[in-house]
Chains A and B, each alone.
Chain A
């Protein structure tokens, strides 16, 4: 069966940030079914729509550059695919662009985040200026201590938002919330508002993931 590899970039905002990654999978599968797009199904005992997600987003975080891959078994214009998906998706998940995949998810190395928060800007700046930012990171093997300082490849702190770039990918991923957890435990300050939006995903060659 001929099939066209297709990548959809989508946003996951507002209420949709509370959809866990596993539930997102179900949600997208059902949206695909509702869209009646000719999407390739896995074969075998329990056929289902094949969708692969590039980089899971943590529960509670938003994203404007999320990507998923699927295969179309007929040629359909990208505009039509986008329209039919958007008609079928929950209101807070929007497909922004349909493209032919260029990079593989293993090419991903970093991601950029925009964080809106009620942290004290000056305290946060002096905290991130310190030599080391040690924090505990949970991995499959257990809890290990990491120094976030050398991992932050970009950081701008402004009144309305903090922008930062961190390692991302399936092998090594740093969740931006770790930095804020570290800040909380180092300073004893509380953070009541923490809105994290993933704004860009980058590949090893420095280009944006497309």
Chain B
């Protein structure tokens, strides 16, 4: 029987400083909630806003697939692999940390805030070669359907990460109905609202609410407002190593 776990937006961890406003769905940094450690392989879902000119200075990562999705403004990325890039709304960047790299992420604007989602997914294999990819999504990803921008197997305007992960995003007019089918039997999907409101299998989600769905074959999604935005993250619910 399909199982659901709902994380209302206001129940997330919240860190606020003069440069960063960060809301955390799962335990991260100073926010620790043993009941909020992950959803399967999805370990981090941070909803961050950087003030103008600020950012995360150079710091390391290893053994994690890190996806950044700008929601407003832009991010200026630099890493120890030699990559320099700016990603803005409509683009997505993926860091495959593997054996390790250093990087920095700064707001691309010296004055305007930048909002982005930061997702960390456990890899299926440890200690691989680090890598960096950024893609620009086609304009059609906003037209009443879910656009899969991360999926196994390379395709146009998609990225493959080191995990059986499908990540989709879409923006919908009011009362649009979409079906989502799980790609693998043991996977679950985490739905995160990035604008407006949705009904997913009879559960109403408002902006920034999250809903984890597992032990099921798929879900029925109905938008409840215009310009309703949804991010879906399908991941394995179990890992080949202890975490």
Q: Do A and B interact?
A: no
Interface residues of chain B, those whose CB is within 8 Å of chain A, are none
